[in-house]
Amino acid sequence: MKRFLSLFVVVVFLFQPLHSQFNFNADTVKAGKYDTGKMWTFEFPPFDYLKEKYGFEAAKEWFDDVRLSALRIPGCSASFVSGDGLVMTNNHCARGVQRQVQKEGEELAKTGFYATTLEEERKIPNYVAEQLVYLKDITSEVQPEIEKGKDAAEKVSIREKVMKDLKSKYEKETGLKCDVTTYFNGSLFFVQGFKVFKDVRLVFQPEEAIGYFGGDPDNFTFPRYNLDCTFYRVYGEDGKPIKSEHFYQWSKNGAAEGELVFTVGNPGSTNRLRTVAQLEYLRDVQYRNLSFMMNSLYNKLEELKSVNPTRADEYEKLRLGFSNGWKSITSTYKALLDPYLLARKMDFEKKAKEFVNNDPELKETYGGVWKSIEMTRAELKEIDKQLAAFTANNTYSARYWLIANELVRYAKQMQLPEEKRDTTLKSKRYLEMRNNLFPKNYDPVLEEAKLIINLDYLVLNLGSDHKLVSSFFNGLNSEVAAKKLIATTLFKDRETVLAMFEKSPEEILALDDPFVKHFATNWDLLEKLREQQREVINTENVTFGLTGQILYKMYGTSISPDANRTLRISDGLMEGYNYNGTKAPVFTTFYGLYDRFFSFGKKYPFDLPERWAEIPKDLDLTTPFNFVATNDIVGGNSGSPVINKNAEIIGLAFDGNIESLQGNFIYLPDVNRTVAVDSRGMYEAIRKVYKATRLADELWNGGIK
């Protein structure tokens, strides 16, 4: 077990807490009112907050115009940027679009795309853009029905039915696509109606090398140098560009350091209302486990490049395939290990408890919330530790785990009456998956390395003395145990594995293979654990819903609810920040782009497309290219316009810094930053590098002239 212990020490060492560099007394740490963030909804805009904090008196008409200029597209955000239906979003939001519209022989990822005329703009198949045009508070239609429920479970069932029925009702009444959404975990209910545009065409997209310059190494970092933008156009049913009454004008001057700016987009989800018990569970189980798996494999792949150099390129490709998630998960784990962050959450929870306990009526309804969640999380912790013994993940699990898991699942399904079997077992996609369980390019070196990690993962969760662990180890260390298991497994080649699926269910379950035995012997336990997990989560969901109601009763709409893919506006300032012993500037310039290009020897992922590799003669290298601001964003905000008080485009959000990853749980503006492409950098590149005069003129003039 020595190897496992040393590995875990390395992982913990790598993730030292964010605030470990200064001393503090946890008992005196205070939560901030806006620790829950500043993702304001358009149902209750922050009129008073903006006036008090910035002296900015935004009228209802301003918020309406800003809302109607914004768009929601698949997986991302976008916005109208001209009166002729021109739409702006990120390059990385359009990778799928790129593949859909390119013609035979084209490689738009390498060449980029620009339509010099309207006729050349390419229609994107099965693609929509949605504009939020209708809002209505329906709380009074929902809450009375919910209260008819006899218990919590029945109330949840009623709520789901009422929301579904109201969605249908308002879609018929308005003729719009409608969503019924809830804020503060069931305190407020709204209908949102969307105008759906079904004819969206590609206008401009840069090459991947400049759109994602720096690749995964630079992801979630700053300074950055990315032209992460793409432009579409929305067409009407008559086949002509629509006239968009509401759109963001292009700023002629960009934004200055310290200036108030806003992002407008659709953040996916946050967990800022989570209780301390839930955060401790995430820290000690979920994110710890994910971080261990990801970090172990990420580092092992780097090591294997020297051990097995003939496959070095494959190992690097595998690393890049999950490096974005690796950086996100491990950095979030780092935030959860931060005692200062937890101290702030504890104070936030303490205030909520005091608020409830000081009111007899509230105490009767909400007093048991935190204790109940502590109990469910304790149950989940024990359940999930055991479930770790059955983890089978395509990226992190050795093939032996994947094959055995699927063989036993298949056998169990085939023992059921046909009408009760999983219908996907007959699908073409399932057969393709099964055929690739033992890949043609099988790599025994990599699979052994993964198996060692999988065995160490068992010890991490269950300890070395647990029966599910000892059945694999038999007193051996993980390296020796892995070699012995591989020597005894029946999974020797692809043909043998595929032939096993032709056996009867009983024959499969009786196979003399250590991995099959593990899953077959413990399948009933696995099913029981999964059922227990579902029951505990369902119970907790009912209780957790009450935490949002407590927050709403405490603060009303003076703070923002958790993100839930609804349109939000976030305020912030153009500010740099301290990092890595130095200071990040507010802006980067094209000078920095070329410094990074030359400093890394022009090699991937710091290479540049041909048109950029030799510096264009008329390109002003002092032009601001990317910037950071304190705006509160998370996943889903990609493609969000960044605007000033005049609702003018000063940038395009495409990422957050690595410190912002704690934003899933808490918003701390001292280090949390939005990373965006500067409007001046986009315009300079479009006009002078791409010579896209038609597009540049439309952005500058706010329409086609």
Instruction: Reply yes or no on whether the pLDDT at 103 is more than 70.
Output: yes
pLDDT (0 to 100) of residue 18: 52
Verify that 250 and 291 share a domain, yes or no: no
pLDDT (0 to 100) of residue 345: 95
Verify that 464 and 595 share a domain, yes or no: no
Instruction: Reply yes or no on whether the pLDDT at 376 is more than 90.
Output: yes
Peptide bond into 360 cis (omega under 30): no
In a domain, 251, yes or no: yes
**pLDDT tier, 24 (very low <50, low <70, confident <90, very high otherwise):** confident
pLDDT in tens, 134-166: 999 999 999 999 889 888 778 888 999 999 999
pLDDT (0 to 100) of residue 264: 98
Whether 315 contacts 305, CB under 8 Å? yes
Verify that 433 and 495 share a domain, yes or no: yes
What average pLDDT score do residues 307-319 get? 93
What percentage of the chain carries pLDDT values higher than 90? 87
- CA-to-CA separations, 113 to 91, 116, 120, 600, 610, in angstroms, rounded: 11, 10, 10, 27, 14
Q: What single string gives the DSSP state of each residue in 675-691?
A: EEEEHHHHHHIIIIIS-
pLDDT in tens, 592-606: 999 999 999 999 999
pLDDT in tens, 486-535: 999 999 999 999 999 999 999 999 999 999 999 999 999 999 999 999 99
In a domain, 559, yes or no: no
Instruction: Reply yes or no on whether the pLDDT at 639 is more than 80.
Output: yes
Arithmetic mean of pLDDT over the chain: 94
Instruction: Reply yes or no on whether the pLDDT at 9 is more than 80.
Output: no
Whether 262 contacts 571, CB under 8 Å? yes
pLDDT (0 to 100) of residue 21: 46
Picking from 511, 531, 551, the residue at the C-terminal end of a domain is 531
Instruction: Reply yes or no on whether the pLDDT at 7 is more than 60.
Output: no
Verify that 521 and 632 share a domain, yes or no: no
In a domain, 673, yes or no: yes
Burial label for 23, CB within 10 Å (0-12, 13-18, 19+), is exposed
φ/ψ bin of 303: left (φ > 0), alpha (ψ from -120 to 50), beta (otherwise): alpha
Could you identify the residue written with the tokens 């145990």?
481
What average pLDDT score do residues 337-357 get? 95
Verify that 437 and 586 share a domain, yes or no: no
pLDDT in tens, 71-89: 999 999 999 999 999 999 9
Verify that 381 and 479 share a domain, yes or no: yes
In a domain, 644, yes or no: yes
Instruction: Reply yes or no on whether the pLDDT at 19 is more than 80.
Output: no
Instruction: Reply yes or no on whether the pLDDT at 14 is more than 70.
Output: no
Instruction: Reply yes or no on whether the pLDDT at 124 is more than 80.
Output: yes
Exposure class string for 572-583: b at 16+ Cβ within 10 A, else e: bbbbbbebeeee
What average pLDDT score do residues 435-440 get? 93
Verify that 359 and 304 share a domain, yes or no: yes
Domain extent at residue 446: 2-14+273-531
Instruction: Reply yes or no on whether the pLDDT at 12 is more than 60.
Output: no
Domain count of the fold of the chain: 2
Q: Which of 107-116, 189-198, 311-320 has the lowest mean pLDDT?
A: 311-320
Verify that 336 and 222 share a domain, yes or no: no
Picking from 508, 531, 554, the residue at the C-terminal end of a domain is 531
Verify that 6 and 46 share a domain, yes or no: no
In a domain, 187, yes or no: no
Exposure class string for 119-145: b at 16+ Cβ within 10 A, else e: eebbebeebbbbbbebebebeebbeeb
* 662: CATH: 2.40.10.120
Q: How far apart are the first and last CA of the chain?
A: 72
Shortest CA distance to 37 belongs to which of 267, 261, 373, 258?
267
In a domain, 177, yes or no: no
The model's pTM: 0.90
Picking from 531, 552, 582, the residue at the C-terminal end of a domain is 531
pLDDT (0 to 100) of residue 541: 85
Verify that 277 and 372 share a domain, yes or no: yes
Instruction: Reply yes or no on whether the pLDDT at 3 is more than 60.
Output: no
Helix (H) or strand (E) holding 231: strand 230-235
Instruction: Reply yes or no on whether the pLDDT at 696 is more than 80.
Output: yes
In a domain, 552, yes or no: no
Verify that 526 and 571 share a domain, yes or no: no
In a domain, 654, yes or no: yes
Verify that 7 and 44 share a domain, yes or no: no
What torsion, rounded to 10 degrees, do the Cα atoms 471, 476, 482, 486 define? -70
